[in-house]
Amino acid sequence: MKNLIAERLTRLYQSWAGEEPDSISPLPQSASYRRYFRIRNKNKNAIGVFNADRKENDAFISFTKHFLKHDLNVPKLYAEDLANNVYLLEDLDDTTLYSLLTEKRNDDQFKNKVLRYYKRALKELTKFQVKVSRDLNYSVCYPRGNFDQQSIMWDLNYFKYYFVKLTQTPFDEQKLEDDFNSFVKFLLSAETNYFMYRDFQSRNIMIKDDELFFIDYQGGRKGALQYDVASLLYDARADLPQEIRDELLEYYIPLLTESTKIKKDEFKKYFFDYVLLRILQSLGTYGFRGVYEKKAHFLRSIPYAIKNLEYLFRNNLYPNGLNELKSVLQNIINNGSLRKVSEVENSDRLTVSVNSFSYNSGIPTDLTGNGGGFVFDCRSLNNPGRHDEFKMLTGKDKPVIEFLDKGNDVKEFLHEVKSIIEPTIKNYNERNFKHLMINFGCTGGQHRSVYCAENISEHLRQLNNVNVVTRHTELEKKESS
């Protein structure tokens, strides 16, 4: 397939440039299934795109031509062959607003430089939202022409199925569905007759020769003005300081009121609800691309999104009601393992995650993107849970520990576990690996697995060459319920 794509792009490049390319180099994939290639020769460079989704290609091409007609800074369209799902765009190099944030965050001039670019981006955003919206052909929008009830429910269910369920966060299905319906009803009471870029965030803003260029707008449709501003200012990994977000919001609103009839109070009435919606949509993406597809970049974004959720709750910006959704989000905020992704990323030493779990709930998800690790089945061990005096206790309580300490089966089991994991830890340290996951499961996740996880965690801490993070998934669920 890769060779076929290269052949198609080569033919298209030759028809445009009049000569063969010297090189075709794949670019890293992001959250989409589109494939990007940098195509070069000594005279002309281009970005080649392959996308098997014809309707999405039609939307992008139509929008690009329209935006260029209105002098917006989007990549020039050099050539297209939509019958073969390929097209060529202007090469805007590799610097994004996000990459600038990464490089300049500790620079003394960080705030001023970032503010300058963000203000320019917001000024350009109003042109997308209002100016070019008036004569835009919305019939090409994909997958829908409006960010309507169906579109919003898709985002909310994306969050439910790919984040809430994959992270084993407890919820009541009907109550959560009722909250979703109420939330959607309120969101759609805002004015929704403007162009909604859909993914207006720092990775989709390119910087070349001190000019801003905008990409990845193929999901655009009619919608509320608040959504794109929320996307930019509460972009999780950009992690803008809150004072900068506040300043930028106050800069944007007068720009908006100059070109529309919307007043400041009306805009802000809905703004933080759209912030919440965008956070939920992002978490759905992080769940699918990170937890399900094991892509580390998306996993590392989760703690930043949770930080944004915390801000909403801490400042009383969460919507009234929506109590089941509130319970779900508070469980996510209180789930320590979701935050420990960034601890692993920032640690210089190997981090070993030791978890207890119930086989009734399933093996814990690896949130580091590393995959693999060990799963040890403790169900063959003598079960304290069969005795009435232990049923309300856990593997961390002294009577249960004393009961299990007496059994030779437990001692032999843990001896074998240590003989397996210690060589792996030694090898991982020599190879500079950053994470290893060790799971202990039993029937209820309360006694034997907890005891074994605690025992092994204490043993590993004595090695002095690893960070040890211990989590008891079933006990955490009971504490949060």
Strand pairing category for 45-50 and 35-40 = antiparallel
The whole-model pTM stands at 0.82
Asked whether 288 and 162 are in contact (CB, 8 A), the reply is yes
- Residue with more model confidence, 25 or 114: 25
Q: Where exactly are the structural domains of the chain?
A: 2-89, 97-334, 339-480
| pLDDT (tens digit per residue) in 336-387 | 778 766 555 555 788 899 999 999 988 887 777 677 799 999 999 999 999 9
| pLDDT (tens digit per residue) in 373-431 | 999 999 999 999 999 999 999 999 999 999 999 989 999 999 999 999 999 999 999 99
Question: In whole numbers, what is the pLDDT of the chain averaged over residues?
Answer: 92
Asked whether 168 and 361 are in contact (CB, 8 A), the reply is yes
Q: What is the pLDDT of residue 356?
A: 96
Range 323-348 average pLDDT: 79
Most confident of 16-20, 344-348, 370-374, 433-437: 16-20
Which range (20-29, 148-157, 376-385, 449-458) has the least confidence? 20-29
Range 458-474 average pLDDT: 89
Please, which pLDDT band fits residue 464 given cuts at 50, 70 and 90? Answer: confident
Please, which pLDDT band fits residue 481 given cuts at 50, 70 and 90? Answer: low
Residue 134: is it exposed, middle or buried by C-beta count within 10 angstroms (0-12/13-18/19+)? exposed
Q: Is 2-89 CATH 3.40.50.2300?
A: no
Structure tokens at 171: 């919820």
Tell which residue, 157, 152, 137, has the closest CA to residue 274.
152
Range 431-442 average pLDDT: 92
Please, which pLDDT band fits residue 129 given cuts at 50, 70 and 90? Answer: very high
Q: Give the whole-angstrom CA distance, residue 397 versus residue 406.
A: 15
Q: What is the pLDDT of residue 290?
A: 84
Fold of 97-334: Aminoglycoside 3'-phosphotransferase; Chain: A, domain 2 (3.90.1200)
Range 94-115 average pLDDT: 80
Please, which pLDDT band fits residue 299 given cuts at 50, 70 and 90? Answer: confident
Q: Give the whole-angstrom CA distance, residue 250 versus residue 302.
A: 27
Asked whether 4 and 32 are in contact (CB, 8 A), the reply is no
Residue with tokens 């809430």: 164
Tell which residue, 216, 203, 193, 251, has the closest CA to residue 101.
203
Q: What is the pLDDT of residue 349?
A: 81
Nearest-5° angle of CA 413, CA 351, CA 431? 95
Tell which residue, 182, 188, 151, 181, has the closest CA to residue 281.
151
327 has pLDDT over 80 = yes
Secondary structure, 3-state, the chain: CHHHHHHHHHHHHHHHHCCCCCEEEECCCCCCCCEEEEEECCCCEEEEEECCCHHHHHHHHHHHHHHHHCCCCCCCEEEEEHHHCEEEECCCCCCEHHHHHHHHCCCCCHHHHHHHHHHHHHHHHHHHHHHCCCCCCHHHCCCCCECCHHHHHHHHHHHHHHHHCCCCCCCCHHHHHHHHHHHHHHHCCCCCCEEECCCCCHHHEEEECCEEEECCCCCCEEECHHHHHHHHHCCCCCCCCHHHHHHHHHHHHHHHHHHCCCCHHHHHHHHHHHHHHHHHHHHHHHHHHHHHCCCHHHHCCHHHHHHHHHHHHHCCCCCCCCHHHHHHHHHHHCCHHHHHHHHHHHCCCEEEEEEEEECCCCCCCCCCCCCCCEEEECCCCCCHHHCHHHCCCCCCCHHHHHHHHCCHHHHHHHHHHHHHHHHHHHHHHHCCCCEEEEEEEECCCCCHHHHHHHHHHHHHHCCCCEEEEEEEHHHHHHHHC
Q: Give the whole-angstrom CA distance, residue 342 versus residue 424.
A: 23
Q: What is the pLDDT of residue 253?
A: 97
Percent of the chain at pLDDT > 70 equals 95
Which range (58-67, 97-106, 136-145, 430-439) has the least confidence? 97-106
Percent of the chain at pLDDT > 90 equals 78
| 201 phi and psi angles, rounded to 5 deg | -140, 170
